[in-house]
């Protein structure tokens, strides 16, 4: 196992894998990365609510690498990567248990969307909207890594739909905190605000990504229309 020094080397050894580059967060938040054989692992503290251990590469190489990395960083880091890989690691790494499957979506194209969405001046009203429309959101105002909010407002100035630029890495912008007021659903507002944020992220970072529940067909369809491609990913826990 060899520790990787810096984003340039990491991009080279992982072949530009979006999951890995996103997890590293440009090495600005205390993340560390390692390579062994053809496997790469990044331990990233407190990114999108969890200490994450992003992994890529062949299962056998990755299993050996993850076992060593866990000894280095401890069991709080949650292995995360392609679903087939995480399932393979759960069978090979002592103390690892498969915990959840979900979706990772990314895009390198800024969508062409007609929208009234824009960046908000602050986050007034965002928490109230999330509490009523998406209380399980990972992104919340004032949370570390949540940088700014975009929204669509109604005629009376009330927030109708929001989305956040949160936990973005230099190479990968990240979309989170998507919510629409229940009274305003069915009008395409989520598509508008997500289209705006996606275009802004691609413009700034070159790529945009997000996580989504695998059974949320409606949300996946919206993101696919915005140019995102779906991948099956998963997480595991360590005892």
Predicted local confidence at residue 113, as pLDDT: 87
| Residue 239 clears pLDDT 90, i.e. is over it | no
Residues 6+ apart with CB under 8 A from 133: 179, 180, 181, 182
| Residue, of 148 and 154, whose pLDDT is higher | 148
Angle among Cα 193, 194, 195 to the nearest 5 degrees reads: 90
pLDDT at 114: 84
Q: State yes or no: pLDDT of 156 exceeds 90.
A: no
CA-CA distance, 208 to 215, in Å (whole number)?
21
pLDDT score of 142:
95
Collect all residues with Cβ–Cβ distance below 8 Å to 53 and sequence separation of at least 6. 41, 42, 43, 44, 66, 69, 70, 73, 77, 78, 79, 80
pLDDT surpasses 90 at 157: no
| pLDDT score, position 190 | 94
208 phi/psi in degrees, rounded to 5: -125, 150
For the CA atoms of 194, 109, 215, 102, the dihedral, rounded to the nearest 10 degrees, stands at -110
As a dihedral over the C-alpha atoms of residue 15, residue 18, residue 19, residue 21, rounded to 10 degrees, the angle is 80
What is the residue whose two structure tokens read 């790529």?
207
CB 108 within 8 A of CB 133: no
What pLDDT does 1 receive?
92
Residue-wise pLDDT tens digits, 178-226 = 999 999 889 999 999 999 999 999 999 999 999 999 999 999 999 999 9
- Give yes or no for residue 155 having a pLDDT over 90: no
Q: What is the mean pLDDT of the chain?
A: 96
Q: Does the pLDDT of residue 237 top 90, yes or no? A: yes
pLDDT at residue 95, as a whole number: 92
pLDDT tens for 18-52 read 999 999 999 999 999 999 999 999 999 999 999 99
């Amino acid at each position: 196992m060899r520790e990787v020094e810096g984003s340039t080397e990491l991009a080279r050894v992982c072949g530009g894998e979006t999951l890995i580059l996103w997890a590293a967060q440009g090495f600005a938040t205390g993340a560390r990365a390692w390579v062994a054989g053809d496997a790469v692992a990044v331990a990233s503290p407190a990114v999108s609510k969890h200490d994450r251990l992003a992994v890529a590469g062949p299962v056998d190489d990755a299993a050996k690498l993850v076992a060593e990395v866990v000894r280095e960083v401890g069991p709080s880091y949650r292995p995360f990567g392609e679903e087939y890989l995480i399932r393979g690691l759960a069978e090979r790494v002592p103390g690892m248990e498969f915990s959840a499957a979900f979706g990772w979506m990314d895009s390198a194209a800024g969508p062409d969307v007609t929208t009234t969405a824009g960046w908000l001046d602050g986050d007034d009203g965002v928490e109230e909207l999330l509490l009523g429309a998406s209380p399980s959101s990972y992104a919340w105002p004032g949370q570390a890594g949540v940088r700014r909010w975009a929204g669509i407002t109604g005629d009376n100035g009330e927030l109708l739909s929001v989305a956040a630029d949160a936990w973005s890495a230099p190479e990968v912008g990240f979309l989170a905190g998507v919510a629409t007021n229940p009274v305003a659903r069915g009008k395409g507002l989520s598509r508008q605000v997500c289209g705006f944020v996606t275009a802004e992220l691609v413009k700034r970072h070159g790529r945009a990504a997000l996580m989504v529940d695998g059974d949320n067909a409606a949300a996946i369809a919206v993101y696919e229309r915005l140019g995102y491609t779906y991948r099956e990913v998963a997480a595991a826990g360590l005892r």
